[in-house]
Structure 1
Amino acid sequence: MPSALGSGFAGSVRLKYVKLGYQYLVNHFLTLLLVPVMAATALELARLGPGELLALWRALDLDLVHILCSAFLVVFVATVYFMSRPRPVFLVDYCCYKPSPSFRVPFTTFMEHIKLISNNDKSLRFQTRILERSGLGEETCLPPANHYIPPNPSMEASRAEAQLVIFNAIDDLVRRTGLKPKDIDILVVNCSLFSPTPSLSAMIINKYKLRSNIRSFNLSGMGCSAGLISIDLARDMLQ
């Protein structure tokens, strides 16, 4: 059984690198095709002397029409190449929501809440190990619903939390960049767990009166990995 698992893992790794190699080949096919030709041409021109180059030029006996057609072909190929390349996308500015100090939950407070909710020693030890190894600090904040004993999660509290985080981040970003909401033509919203109806993207569009033809995408309930998916989606839309 271990050997079968090992061979399957090795096969998946090899398949992954084959896919990456194929993707690189497709994305840079024209470059890989032109580089050897240009290198061979440069080596041949370097081998010939000035006199041989001049004699070769005179032997071509090209008229103006041939020269213009050749120049047009070169310009056309170069234009197609540069237009087909994916355009780079840059992150110009960003804003993160900074919660109020009243949302701060030190380790002692968190563990005290856990003890009041559950007296399971095994669970307490597990939570202690998580706090020690997770990278969380004494300034870590939790939403208001988690400050109750016991916690009071609800649809209203979740929507209020989403509005608090999203609206404050957007307000800071608009104020910092001087961007008008009407200038936004693409909106990608990602939330790992909360997926209400109407969606979070609809909530933002109604709040800031965004343009009617905006392209909006709402990614919810896909876990933490959806953050990378949303960034990739935004890049594809901008390209």
Structure 2
Amino acid sequence: MTLRLIISSLPDLIIWNTLHHFLMVVVAGLVVLYLKYKRKVPIYLLDFACYKPPNSYRLPKSMFLEAVFLNKLDPDSIAFQIKILEKSGFSEETCIPSSLARVPIRKSLPLAVEEVVTVMFCVVSDLFKKNSINPKAIDIVISNASMFCPTPSLSSMIVNKFRMRSNVMSFHLSGMGCSAGIISVGLAKDLLRVHRNSLALIVSTESLHLNWYTGKNPPMLLTNCLFRMGGAAILLSSHKEDKSKAKYELQHLVRTNKAQDDVSHACVYQDVDSENKVGVSISKGILHVAGAALKENIAALGPLVLPFKEQLRYGFSIICHKMWPTRRTSIYIPDFKKAFEHFCIHAGGKAVIQAIEKNLHLRKQDVEPSKMTLYKFGNTSSSSIWYELAYLEAKGRMKRGDRVWQIAFGSGFKCNSAVWKCVYDSKFGIANAWSDISSYPVEVPDFVKISE
């Protein structure tokens, strides 16, 4: 009788044990997620500084064209550079190192090093002085310059110049293109969360001297017309007590790499021309490649930042597009203005900024920091997004609780995003780079005729 009762109750016991096991797994999963969230270390941006070149480094359009003529290029190469410069959206204030103002240009490693250390040491000194930072308090140093990788590394030069500790962690990133600044932030974030209560210094710059193209290949001449001198130093912390004096807290960092695609991989490429002269070739299809990378990056970032209503509308439009493709139903573009108050779009060129403005339905004021940075400084590579953030601060637009989206593109091809939340409860000072902020914004014409 007892055996019969036991056998008859086996199904119930099995169900109960299964349910009990399932509940234990769920509870364990929730505990793990809770501990993971609880242990998440906040990353604070204490401050940053941008390099302002001296007026003697200015490259007015007339001086650029004079150098082009004196270098005795063929008429087609001259006409190409004039056309790009006329549409560049540059002012007369963009700068190059003084070594490139010589005719003919004489390239050398010492001059390239001089260019880079001038920028790096200046911005790091400004950052330390402004925040009363002892260099020996720095735990992590990360430098990035895509086209210049000397020995000792740039990060080692910084450690040597400022006499940092012997156990400071030092890293240099090269070959990452204009998106290297956000990649550096990502590396610093990971290190700061492992090495808690630490300070990280990031220095983003680029070297023009050795990479100034002296040949006749139009895709390679494009870099001479777009890239200019600049750099930025950024101070990050994982000290909890630093929240009271931090400017921003890192919310999200999303990276998209399209290097597995041959077209994307080859759209920005360092190579030699038919005369064995080294240059960086930029393909005509770069806007299409950048658009595809941005689309994928947004797909990953959107669920993290967009209100549920915007996500729902976006998802519904995709379903409709898939179910009724013959009706040509358009996919809804989420309104990112509901997720962010400010935008810092990499100042890679006027066409890049205009394409993002159009495709994301942004307002003129949303792309103003990018356009003004391009106008005043040109494309300063990975540091451009920091000039744009400095512009927003100088204009007094950054308020506590505001969210800002930094978007950067780079060779490979890469599209990276960083989202910061303002936690500063005071007025921001005007950065040295924008000491003339009262003059901005200015109207930038679509075309400026340059007489040959």
Alignment correspondent of 1:92: 46
Which of 57, 80, 84 aligns to 2:35? It is: 80
CA distance in 1, matches of 2:179, 2:32: 40
1:128 aligns with 2:82: yes
128-137 or 144-153, which deviates more: 128-137
CA distance in 2, matches of 1:186, 1:131: 40
CA distance in 1, matches of 2:142, 2:74: 42
Q: CA deviation at 1:149?
A: 0.3
Tell me the SS of whatever aligns to 1:94. Answer: strand
1:202 aligns with 2:156: yes
Alignment correspondent of 1:230: 184
Tell me the SS of whatever aligns to 2:44. Answer: coil
Alignment correspondent of 1:172: 126
In structure 2, relative to structure 1, the CA distance for the partners of 1:136 and 1:236 (3 Å cut) is: farther
CA distance in 2, matches of 1:197, 1:138: 35
Tell me the SS of whatever aligns to 1:218. Answer: strand
CA distance in 1, matches of 2:99, 2:171: 27
Which of 182, 201, 219 aligns to 2:136? It is: 182
Instruction: Give identity over the alignment, percent.
Output: 43
Tell me the SS of whatever aligns to 1:123. Answer: helix
Look up the equivalent residue of 2:58 and give its one-letter code.
Answer: R
Structure whose residues are more often helix by fraction? 1
CA distance in 2, matches of 1:130, 1:235: 38
CA distance in 1, matches of 2:62, 2:172: 37
CA distance in 2, matches of 1:225, 1:78: 31
Superposed, 1:3-42 pairs within 5 Å as: none
Task: State the structure with bigger RCO (CA 8 A, min sep 6), 1 or 2.
Answer: 2
Q: How many equivalent pairs are there?
A: 167
In structure 2, relative to structure 1, the CA distance for the partners of 1:82 and 1:229 (3 Å cut) is: closer
Alignment correspondent of 2:94: 140
CA distance in 2, matches of 1:140, 1:184: 32
Query: Which structure 1 residue ranges, 5 or more long, are not aligned?
Result: 1-32, 35-72
Q: CA deviation at 1:142?
A: 0.4
CA distance in 2, matches of 1:93, 1:225: 20
Deviations 1:117-154 (A, max 9, x none): 02422111211222133333210100111110011221
1:116 aligns with 2:70: yes
Q: CA deviation at 1:80?
A: 1.4
Superposition CA RMSD, Å: 2.3
Q: Which has the larger radius of gyration?
A: 1
Deviations 1:176-206 (A, max 9, x none): 0111101000110001111111111111111
In structure 2, relative to structure 1, the CA distance for the partners of 1:90 and 1:136 (3 Å cut) is: farther
Alignment correspondent of 2:109: 155
CA distance in 1, matches of 2:152, 2:37: 42
Structure whose residues are more often strand by fraction? 2
CA distance in 2, matches of 1:204, 1:191: 13
In structure 2, relative to structure 1, the CA distance for the partners of 1:214 and 1:128 (3 Å cut) is: same
> After TM superposition, which residue ranges in structure 1, 4 or more long, deviate above 3 angstroms?
76-79
CA distance in 1, matches of 2:50, 2:62: 26
Q: CA deviation at 1:116?
A: 0.8
Look up the equivalent residue of 2:38 and give its one-letter code.
Answer: M
Q: CA deviation at 1:78?
A: 8.3
In structure 2, relative to structure 1, the CA distance for the partners of 1:215 and 1:102 (3 Å cut) is: same
Deviations 1:50-104 (A, max 9, x none): xxxxxxxxxxxxxxxxxxxxxxx9xx778614324x4342322100111110000
Deviations 1:189-230 (A, max 9, x none): 001111111111111111111111111111124332322321
Query: Which structure 2 residue ranges, 5 or more long, are not aligned?
Result: 1-25, 194-452
96-105 or 128-137, which deviates more: 128-137
Look up the equivalent residue of 1:82 and give its one-letter code.
Answer: Y
Alignment correspondent of 1:212: 166
Give the TM-score, by structure 2 length: 0.35
Look up the equivalent residue of 2:106 and give its one-letter code.
Answer: N
Look up the equivalent residue of 2:102 and give its one-letter code.
Answer: Y
Give the TM-score, by structure 1 length: 0.64
Alignment correspondent of 1:30: none
Look up the equivalent residue of 1:212 and give its one-letter code.
Answer: S
